[in-house]
Amino acid sequence: MSEFEAYRSLFVAESRENHENLVRNMLILEKGGSQEAIDEIFRSIHTLKGASASMGFMEMERLCHTMEDVFQMIRSGSAVITADLNNLLLACSDIIELMLDDVEGGGDSSSVNPDEQVNALKQWISKGAGKVKVESPKSGVIPAVVPDTIAEIIDETDRPRYIIKLKVADDCVMKDIRAMLAIGNLESLGTILSIHPSREDIDEGRFDGSLVLKIASDVGDDALKSAATGTDIASVEITPAQKDEPVTPLKVSEEIIPAESDKKQQAASQDKTREIKNLRVDITQLDHIMNLVEDLVINRGRLKQIAEQNKIKELDEAISTVDRSVSDLQNLMMNIRMIPLNHIFNRLPRVVRDVAQYDGKEVEFVIEGGETELDRSVMDGLNDPLLHLIRNSVNHGIESPEVREKAGKPRKGFVKLSAHRDRDNVIIELIDDGGGINVEKVKSKAVEKGLVTPENATTMTTEQAIEILFLPGFSTADKISDISGRGVGLDVVRRSIESLKGSIRVETTPGKGSRFELLLPPTMAIVDVMIVRINRRRLAIPISSIVEVADYKTGSTHRIGKSDAILLRDEVLEIFMLDDMMGRSEDRDILIVVQYLKRKCCIAVDLVEGKQEVVVKPLSSIIGNTRGISGITILGDGEVVPVLDVNTMV
C-alpha cells in the first residue's frame, strides 16, 4: 500500500467521525441548540475542510470552505440559523457523505458535484454580507481564518511563553498534514498565541515545511518538544519568549540544524512521545483472525478426544494449558469484535427528523443503551431493519399534530429506541405513543389483497392480524410515497432479523402506541451447545435455550389437536420427535426442555453426550436456509453436526 493510500484510509475514518459529529450537532441546533453546538459544528467543518484540501480533494474542500464561511457568520452572531438554512446545510452534509463514499472507493470526490449547494450557500452569504460583524477572538481561541500576517492572540495569564521552530522532513509526502498534527499536539498542552504560516495557508497547501509558532504553556519545554517531535519531523527548536516578543517567520531557505546536544535531547524526547493507545484495524483482518481462532477451537476438541482415548498424562497436562490459552484468546477476540450500537443509533435521529418533516409531524426521539455491544457480524445486518422500523414508526405510528390534539395528546409525538442485555441476548426496543396498529384496517387490506377470506378475518385475534403485517408485499399505506406504500414491508425486517438468528415481537394498544422488540444473539460464531443423539445421529442444541433435562416415558404423551404434548411440572408442553430430521427411534427416554421468550417446548432424545464449545458455520448457498437449523458445526472427530435453531422451532 502506498503512503497516499494509507493516508486515504485514515482520512476517511477520521472524516466520517467529523461528519457524524457535524450532523448530530446540527440536529441539536435545530431544536434550539447552544453556542457549544455551533462551536462543535465549526470545529468539525474546519477539520473536514483542512483535511480534504491537504489530500487534494478539492470539490469537497470547496463545499466545506463555503459551509465554514456560513458558520463563521453564525458563530460571530452576525447571522441566525433558520429552518430553510438548516435544511440546506443538512443537504450539504449529505453531499459530504457521498464524497466520502467516493474517496473510500478510490476517487477524489470530484464525481459528486456540489455546485447547487455551494451556489445556494453563497447566495445566503451575499444577502447577509452587509450585516456581518467581525468579533474579536476570545482568549485561547484561534480565529477561524487567520490572515497571512501573524495574528497575535491575547493571553492574560502569567504562563511561560515559548517560540517553537519546527521543520518537516523534505521527503515527507504530506507535509501540511504532518504540520497540522504537530499543531494539534501542541494545542492540547497550551494556548497557541501566533503561528506562521497561518492555518489557512497550511490548509490550502501553501506550506514549504517550515513552521514557527508562539505558545503559552506551563508544561515545560521538554513536554512541548516531545509533543512536537515525531515521525517525519526533521528538527524542533524551542526558545523561551517574552510576553510581547513578536514571532520572526522562518525564511524558506533557513534550515534548522540541531546541535549535538540537541540531537541527544531529541533522541531522548522520542521516548517521551505520546503512546498510541488505539489502532484502526481493517475489519477483514479481524475476520481472518476470527476464522483462525475458530479453527483452534475445532482442533482443541480433536486434541481432547485423542487425549481421552490414549490416557497419556503428559498429553493431558499440555492440552489443559493449550485449552486455557485458546479460551483466553477466544474471549479476547470476541471482545475486540464487539461494537457499540451507537454506531447505528447515531445515524437515526436524522432519519426521524427527515420523515417527520416530510409528513408534517412533530416527533421527539430518544435513544437509550447505545453503549450496549454486539458482534460485528450481527451489527452488519441490523442497519436496514432498524431504519425500516424507525420510518414505519414515524410514518404509520405517530399521528399528525392536529389529530393528536383532538385525541388529548401532546402535539409532539414520542419515539424511543433502547437497547439492553438479557442473559446472553441483546434486546432492542422501539416504542412510540402513536395510534397503534389499526387491526381492522389490517384485516380489510388483507381481504382486499386476497390474503385471507372475509370469514377468517372476522374471527382473527389481534396477534393473528399483526402476523399479516409480516407477509411479503403487505402494506397498509393508502398511497405510494417516498417513505411507504411500495410493498417493502415488515417481511423484509423479519427475514433480516431471523437471518441473524434473532426474532421480532410486536405489541400494540389502539390509541396508545406500539412496541417492537428485537431479540438478538450477541455473537454468531462460537457458542456452547449440548450434544445429543437421536437414532444414533448427533444434534447440537444451544445451551442458552435449554431450561432443563428430564426423564421421558412414552406412555405419558397425549395427543392434542395435531401435536403431541406432555404434562411436566404442571405445564403442558408440546413435544417434538424430530423424525423428519433425525429418523425414527424407539429408545428415547430423555426430554430436553427448551425455551424461547416465554414459550417452552421439549425434544425427545436417546442420549445426552455432554456440553461442548463449538464453532457454528452457516449453511452453504447450495443448501440454502433451512427452518429449524441455524447452521452446522464440525466436532473434534470430524463429524458434521447440525445446530438446532430453537427460535424458529418454537
Q: Which residues in the chain land under pLDDT 50?
A: 1, 129-152, 250-274, 480, 482, 485-488
Last residue of a domain, one of 520, 551, 572: 520
CATH number at residue 595: 2.30.30.40
Answer yes or no: are the C-beta atoms of 550 and 603 closer than 8 Å.
Answer: no
CA pair distance 427, 391, nearest whole angstrom? 19
490 and 581 share a domain?
no
How many domains does the chain fold into? 5
Residues 108, 246 within the same domain:
no
Residue 299 falls within a domain, yes or no?
yes
pLDDT digits (tens, 9 = 90+) for 549-593: 999 887 788 888 888 889 888 888 889 888 888 888 888 889 999
Torsion sign (Cα): 357, 358, 360, 363? negative
CATH code at position 77: 1.20.120.160
Show which of 339, 361, 379 is a domain's final residue: 339
310/331 same-domain check: yes
Cis bond before residue 197 (omega within 30° of 0): yes
The residues, any chain, with a CB within 8 Å of residue 450's CB and separated by 6 or more, are none
Whether residue 454 is found in the same domain as residue 367: yes
Domain limit, last residue, from 486, 505, 520: 520
Does residue 503 share a domain with residue 366? Answer: yes
pLDDT at 218: 81
- Residue closest to 60 by CA, chosen among 106, 105, 108, 22: 108
610 CB burial (10 A radius; 0-12, 13-18, 19+): exposed
147 found inside a domain: no
311's CB contacts (< 8 A; 6+ apart) are: none
CATH number, domain with residue 192: 3.30.70.1110
Same domain, residue pair 369 and 409: yes
290 inside domain: yes
pTM of the model: 0.59
The DSSP call for residue 645 is: -
Q: Domain with 320 in it: what CATH number? A: 1.10.287.560
Domain around 99: 3-131
Rounded distance between C-alpha atoms, residue 358 and residue 236, angstroms: 56
On whether residue 434 sits in a domain, the answer given is yes
Q: Would strands 373-375 and 590-596 be described as parallel, antiparallel, or unpaired? A: unpaired
Residue 465 within any structural domain of the chain: yes
Query: Is residue 142 situated within a structural domain?
Result: no
Residues 236 and 299 placed together within one structural domain of the fold: no
Q: Are residues 559 and 641 in the same domain?
A: yes
Catalytic residues: 46, 68, 392
> Per the domain annotation, does 150 fall within a domain?
no
**What span, in angstroms and rounded, lies between the C-alpha atoms of 397 and 64?**
37
Same domain, 212 and 312: no
Query: What is the Rg, in whole angstroms, of the alpha carbon atoms belonging to the chain?
Result: 32
- Domain identity same for 10 and 97: yes
The CATH number linked to 419 is 3.30.565.10
Q: What is the pLDDT of residues 127-138, one digit of tens each?
A: 764 343 333 333
DSSP assignments along 346-362, one per residue: TTHHHHHHHHHHHHT--
The reply to whether 586 falls in a domain is yes
Residues 217-220: contacts with CB within 8 Å, 24+ apart?
217/159, 217/160, 217/162, 217/189, 217/190, 217/191, 218/159, 218/160, 218/190, 219/189, 219/190
Question: What's residue 136's pLDDT?
Answer: 32
The per-type count for the chain, helices as H runs and strands as E runs, is 22, 22
Residue 267: predicted pLDDT: 41
d(CA 369, CA 410): 25
Residue-level pLDDT at 135: 36
Residue 321 and residue 351 share a domain: no
Task: Check if the beta carbon of residue 553 is closer than 8 Å to that of residue 624.
Answer: no
463, 388: one domain: yes
